[in-house]
């Protein structure tokens, strides 16, 4: 009987594959290069090979798997199983689901990676007790997913949940999308923090940051956070401003969607001590008080495994091989 699931976290440089059981426990994993430059067929081959390698490690046959979940950067169309052109995967319309189903005897399910991560936190992480939840990941960019009645909220065409591109500071810096100014990603991502710090150095608004001697280009988030913790006021102010704008975005989400829980993940959460309190004040200042009271703000629980857990969550939420056939 098929008891297991396969999940693939598809990235621009690497493919992470895991075999898991229905509780989301990962029993075997493998990792390979995506090889984007070699084209769609090569990516599909690499995915198939990595699934077989993970199966070998788990000492399982393909018959033990119910289905395969794929977490991919968007934009995409999950019904048609197509990944559109993204900065990481430069294809116009990559029919990844059809191409995989030709090669492997498994139903394949596609999901936006941030939505998949949100579902993983709901099913296996911080959101297990709630049905109305928002997940926000803050790293080089800002992404997220909305869980409504326990399921991913997709909107009409799978474009919902682009939390990072809500405008929180009209006329502010761009996020990389031309003419997209002052979105949450442009104001509060890891990239935004470093951009502000480098600008301060280049425009000589500061002489330097505590404990950092290099040039603006050499500055990293780790060094800036360390300077802030050592008492560097300019570094602290950069994190405070980030927290302020993040709070505006979070307040908008709270007022719009009335979530019970907002879960924060991503690498920038390592600097949580530098912006969390300011963010909470900003949320309190900008959200409707009664709606704010309903919502808890917490840290994600799945850590670096969230991408893989997300792909598995997508597969598991579909159920067994025969799920949906009676529909």
Stretch that binds Zn ion, among 126-134, 173-181, 260-268, 318-326 (CB under 5 A): 173-181
Q: Whole-number minimum distance, CB 144 to Zn ion, in Å?
A: 13
Backbone angles phi and psi of 315, in degrees to 5:
-65, -45
Instruction: Confirm or reject binding of residue 175 to Zn ion (CB under 5 A).
Output: yes
**What is the size of the binding site for Zn ion (CB under 5 A)?**
5
Q: Whole-number minimum distance, CB 146 to Zn ion, in Å?
A: 17
Stretch that binds Zn ion, among 51-59, 85-93, 116-124, 174-182 (CB under 5 A): 174-182
CA distances 224 to 3, 52, 196, Å, are 47, 42, 11
Backbone angles phi and psi of 96, in degrees to 5:
-65, -40
Distance CA 228, CA 169 (A): 24
Instruction: Confirm or reject binding of residue 295 to Zn ion (CB under 5 A).
Output: no
Distance CA 7, CA 106 (A): 12
Q: Whole-number minimum distance, CB 76 to Zn ion, in Å?
A: 18
Q: Which residues of 221-233 are buried (b: 16+ CB within 10 A; e: fewer)?
A: bebbbbbbbeebe
Residues contacting residue 279 through CB under 8 Å, at least 6 positions apart: 243, 244, 246, 247, 250, 297
Q: Are 34 and 43 in contact (CB under 8 A)?
A: yes
Give the nearer residue to Zn ion in terms of CB position, either 100 or 175: 175
Give the nearer residue to Zn ion in terms of CB position, either 115 or 189: 189
Give the nearer residue to Zn ion in terms of CB position, either 7 or 141: 141
Instruction: Confirm or reject binding of residue 180 to Zn ion (CB under 5 A).
Output: yes
Q: Whole-number minimum distance, CB 177 to Zn ion, in Å?
A: 5
Q: Which one of residues 96, 117, 183, 242 is an interface residue with Zn ion (CB under 5 A)? A: 183
Give the nearer residue to Zn ion in terms of CB position, either 76 or 175: 175
Give the nearer residue to Zn ion in terms of CB position, either 180 or 199: 180
- Per CB under 5 A, which of residues 143..172 are in contact with Zn ion? 165
CA distances 256 to 91, 96, 161, Å, are 34, 34, 12
Stretch that binds Zn ion, among 79-87, 185-193, 196-204, 293-301 (CB under 5 A): 185-193
Query: What residue ranges bind Zn ion (CB under 5 A)?
Result: 165, 175, 180, 183, 185
């Amino acid at each position: 009987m098929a008891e297991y699931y396969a999940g693939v976290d598809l990235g621009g440089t690497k493919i992470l594959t895991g075999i898991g059981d229905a509780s989301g426990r990962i029993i075997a994993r493998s990792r390979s290069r995506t090889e984007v430059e070699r084209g769609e067929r090569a990516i599909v081959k690499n995915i198939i090979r990595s699934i077989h390698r993970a199966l070998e490690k788990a000492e399982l046959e393909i018959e033990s798997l119910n289905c395969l979940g794929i977490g991919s950067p968007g934009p995409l169309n999950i019904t048609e199983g197509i990944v559109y052109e993204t900065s990481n995967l430069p294809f116009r319309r990559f029919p990844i689901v059809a191409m995989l189903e030709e090669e492997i005897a498994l139903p394949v399910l596609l999901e936006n990676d941030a939505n998949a991560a949100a579902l993983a936190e709901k099913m296996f992480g911080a959101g297990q007790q709630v049905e109305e939840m928002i997940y926000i990941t803050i790293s080089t960019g800002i992404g997220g997913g909305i869980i409504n009645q326990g399921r991913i909220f997709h909107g009409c065409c799978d474009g919902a949940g682009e939390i990072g591109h809500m405008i929180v500071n009209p006329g502010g810096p761009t996020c990389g999308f031309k003419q997209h100014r002052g979105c949450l990603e442009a104001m509060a991502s890891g990239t935004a923090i470093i951009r502000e710090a480098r600008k301060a150095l280049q425009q000589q608004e500061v002489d330097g940051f505590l404990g950092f001697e290099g040039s603006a280009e050499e500055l990293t988030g780790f060094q800036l956070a360390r300077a802030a913790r050592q008492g560097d006021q300019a570094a602290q102010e950069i994190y405070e401003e980030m927290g302020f704008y993040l709070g505006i975005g979070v307040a908008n989400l709270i007022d719009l969607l009335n979530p019970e829980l907002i879960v924060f993940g991503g690498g920038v959460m390592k600097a949580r001590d530098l912006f969390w309190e300011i963010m909470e004040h900003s949320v309190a200042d900008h959200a409707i008080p009664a709606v704010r009271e309903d919502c808890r703000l917490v840290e994600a629980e799945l850590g670096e495994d969230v991408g893989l857990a997300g792909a598995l969550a997508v597969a598991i939420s579909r159920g067994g091989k025969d799920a949906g056939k009676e529909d």
